[in-house]
Amino acid sequence: MATETVIKVRDVAMGFGSRTLFKDVSFDVARGEVFVILGGSGCGKSTLLKLMVGLYQPTAGTIELLGIDGINPDRGERLRLLRSLGVMWQSGALFGSMTLLENVMLPLEAHTALPRPAREQVARVKLGLVGLSDAADRLPAEISGGMAKRAGIARAMALDPPLLFLDEPSAGLDPITSAGLDKLIKDLAHDLGTTFVVVTHELQSILAIGDRCIMLDKQAQGMIAEGDPRRLRDEATHPTVRAFFRREAEPA
Ligand SMILES: Nc1ncnc2c1ncn2[C@@H]1O[C@H](COP(=O)(O)OP(=O)(O)O)[C@@H](O)[C@H]1O
Ligand SMILES: [Mg+2]
């Protein structure tokens, strides 16, 4: 089957002030793929996600999303991109004073002219997709961490974006809840053809859901690995990559 490239990142560099975080970052993401960004704390994973969704401008390189220049889109393209991207940030905050249903309805209010009953119906469908039909009228404080993450994904999916970006979706979740979330991501990619870019540290999760991954490294100021995570686990020779995938102590 022919693969369609939906994200094209070329020679991207980023830093804050005089400090270079990473450079020469290049990769493609294909439609329907679960693409994972790995790396230690502070290596720039969240920053790379923000570059990809247009929140930051890179110091060098190009980023193309759905054939659109993600760095300098014109007005019409920017709007198209905004509607095509769903994002769940690391902090993942839901609005505490709103029910889950109202939280998921928010992007529909901002980006569509749908009347309220239609917005509500769409939001209920999204909550159903993540297994939260029965919790639609609950407040964020009344649900578990795993449910809150799922509600965050439902909100990110409100506009049926072809691209979903998730920053550490399973952080802070117990292994069973985390496995449930992995299954959800895998199913959505498979059933809806949604493309996922997921930042995660969790090795189990990477091996379970990742079709392809890259690993960033702070010291190397860039990518130290790219490929199928299972192959990297079995074949990587870079000491940091090996250590991560095999959970060995890194040589000093
Ligand atoms: N807006 C910003 N201004 C200055 N420094 C930043 C900013 N955002 C991130 N950083 C710094 O860049 C580095 C990488 O951050 P981040 O991308 O959040 O890492 P990761 O998600 O891999 O843990 C950190 O040292 C962080 O303090
Ligand atoms: Mg981060």
Q: What's the rounded Cα separation, in Å, for the pair 195 and 35?
A: 8
Q: What's the rounded Cα separation, in Å, for the pair 26 and 9?
A: 5
User: Which residue stretches of the chain have pLDDT < 70?
Assistant: 1-2, 92, 248-252
- Ligand 1 atom, smallest distance to 90 CA: 21
- 201-224 pLDDT, tens digit each: 888 889 999 999 999 999 999 999
- Please tell me the predicted confidence (pLDDT) of residue 192: 86
Q: Provide the whole-model pTM.
A: 0.91
Report how far apart, in Å, the C-alpha atoms of 2 and of each of 5, 8, 32 are: 10, 16, 12
Q: What's the rounded Cα separation, in Å, for the pair 122 and 211?
A: 29
- 65-85 pLDDT, tens digit each: 999 999 999 999 998 998 899
- For residues 49 and 9, is the Cβ–Cβ distance under 8 A? no
The protein residue whose alpha carbon is closest to atom 13 in ligand 1 is 42
On the CB side of 87, CA atoms within 13 Å amount to 15
The protein residue whose alpha carbon is closest to atom 8 in ligand 1 is 47
- Please tell me the predicted confidence (pLDDT) of residue 125: 94
- What's the 130 CA to ligand 2 centre distance in angstroms? 24
Does 210 sit in the ligand 1 pocket, CB within 6 Å?
no
Report how far apart, in Å, the C-alpha atoms of 113 and of each of 78, 95, 110, 245, 246 are: 18, 22, 8, 47, 50
- 86: left (phi > 0), else alpha (psi -120 to 50), else beta? beta
